[in-house]
Structure 1
Amino acid sequence: MAGGNKSPKPITSNGKADASTQPSLQAQLIGEQISGGHAYNKHVIRQQEFTDLNINSPADVARHIENIVANPSESKKLSNGRSAYWDDKSGTIVIRDPNSKDGGTAFRPTLGKTYFDKQK
């Protein structure tokens, strides 16, 4: 995981990936990619949007994004191949953009879920 010293999560009981592990592996990769982009510096460091959630490192951001992508309160497809994931508990939106160098973004919009609902 980005910035962490933890060993990788076991994929299955035998340590190998299969079709049943694909969604969680995809969520993990999305978290790692987005946390390594602008989302960490802009939303965690400069704007301090996640201090109340004790998210202080790229690894923390990656885990937070991974959890949202794997278990969103709501999700939807957006234009240009993007996807949006909403988390009611933390008020976080994750926008996955496979066409973006950093894979997308994650932040806590001031408009909350209204922001998510307006995304197309």
Structure 2
Amino acid sequence: MHDDTDPLQRSVDRLSEALTVNRARAQSRSGLLWVDACADGELTIHIDDHALPLSGEELGRQLTALAAQALAEARAQAHSALKAFRADPRIDAVVAETAFAIDRPRPER
């Protein structure tokens, strides 16, 4: 079977998913706490009932660390998708042209 999909379309789809759908998860060693993160910063925090004996300070510390870890992974995935998207010479040309637009006079209305 031959895939006729333009590689740019696949890159756009991958980038869109990385920014809006894909999630990364970080989990505590005990498995009682975990955080799912999207590259846009959306977090979902899970706390198993068995984690409740932790002090508020320890629970906060672990959740903060897990959130940072999950966000870093989600954003790394998005960065990878953006890098693949920008690797297409058509996109590179458009970005370069956009950068040159700043040096041009503003159009009259």
Q: Do these two structures clear the TM 0.5 threshold for a shared fold by scoring above it?
A: no
TM-score, structure 1 normalization: 0.21
Structure ranking higher in helix proportion:
2
> More relative contact order in 1 or in 2 (CA 8 Å, sep 6+)?
2
Computing the radius of gyration from Cα coordinates, the structure with the larger value is: 2
TM-score by length of 2: 0.23
